[in-house]
Amino acid sequence: MTGVVKRAFRYRFYPTCEQAEQLTRTFGCVRLVYNKALHARTSAWNTERRIITYGETSALLTQWKRDADLAFLGEVSCVPLQQALRHLQAGFAAFFAKRAGYPRFKSRKRSRAAAEYTRSAFRWRDGQLTLAKMTEPLAIVWSRPLPEGTVPSTVTVSRDAAGRWHVSLLVETTVETLPPAEAAVGVDAGITSLVTLSSGEKIANPRHERADRRKLAKAQRALCRKHKDSNNRAKARIRVARIHARITDRRRDLLHKVSTRLVRDNQTVVIEDLAVRNLLANHRLARAISDAAWSQLRTMLEYKAAWYGRRLVVVDRWLPSSKLCSTCGQVAETMPLHVREWTCGCGAHHDRDVNAAKNILAAGLVER
């Protein structure tokens, strides 16, 4: 059985000097248009209690291009600018639906530099991608092939803080549903062990951030010593960003491997509904919790389970999984974090994390 899904394939690419200059200019124009549209919508509400629609911001964009001071907006493709307005509209829709906070202005230093091109703004021919306003195709490193016969519907070009260029190609493709499996597994997220399975297996947490902490601290100290707006400071900032990028890449790679393995081997995966934002209030554990990236693991499990015909069950966060005896069902009065093993009154001896994973699995199977 197959299902049609939209998937984004991300690749590194190396632009020429002219392409890098053109893309940098596009990023700046996208940011400017987004911020001006956000300012217009905010001002209209604060002064007139009037909501500006997407269509009105599109008309404003046309006016801005006619302004002599903003004539440079016409030097880049109009599609990324129009997409910036659509992204702002989506942000307001999420805000009014109470799914997100109020849209914020994009910062040149802190915001991700990106531009989105739809089908009318790029040419895809013989496996080569050429963006609007460019004469040469992008030099993409094809680390993995696109699904055969697919054509990108949307292309997103970005540059991260470490100066790396990426292109993301959104395609519509089919995904083969995995054969049914009989196994079910409960997953308890942790810090010492990234996850503990109800089978008793523990997957170690490499703690990528802690492994590079000394190197990161040294680079950050060097950055602080550089004069503001100097070339040396810019180079030091890139060194810090590269260390952060290395940590992020290694963490994401591990989470992909763990989530793919859990989905492939089990028909039902049961996890706990953790309130990660609340847990981060514990300043002693906040750094380790952020490094574990539990929310990212859950996101991967959700879409991979949907792709491959598996079932992901999320149990209530208030389930006393650690204090509940998986043998007799008795709940211990207290269970401090430093207690890693305990013995129930029924005589059953438990590893704290394995016991929690078993209880999560049992609760998930009941909900099933």
Dump strand ranges (E) for 219-336: 268-272, 311-315
| Catalytic one of 116, 209, 272, 291 | 272
Quick check: is 273 catalytic? no
| Catalytic one of 116, 209, 291, 353 | 353
Name the token pair of 53: 């629609």
| Catalytic one of 116, 188, 209, 291 | 188
CA 39 to chain centre: 27
| Number of other CB atoms surrounding residue 365 within 10 Å | 14
Tell which residue, 131, 135, 106, has the closest CA to residue 120. 131
Instruction: Work out the angle at residue 223's Cα, subtended by the Cα atoms of residues 219 and 229, and round it to the nearest 5 degrees.
Output: 150
Quick check: is 272 catalytic? yes
Quick check: is 21 catalytic? no
Helix (H, G, I), strand (E, B) or coil at 235: helix
Active site residues: 188, 272, 353
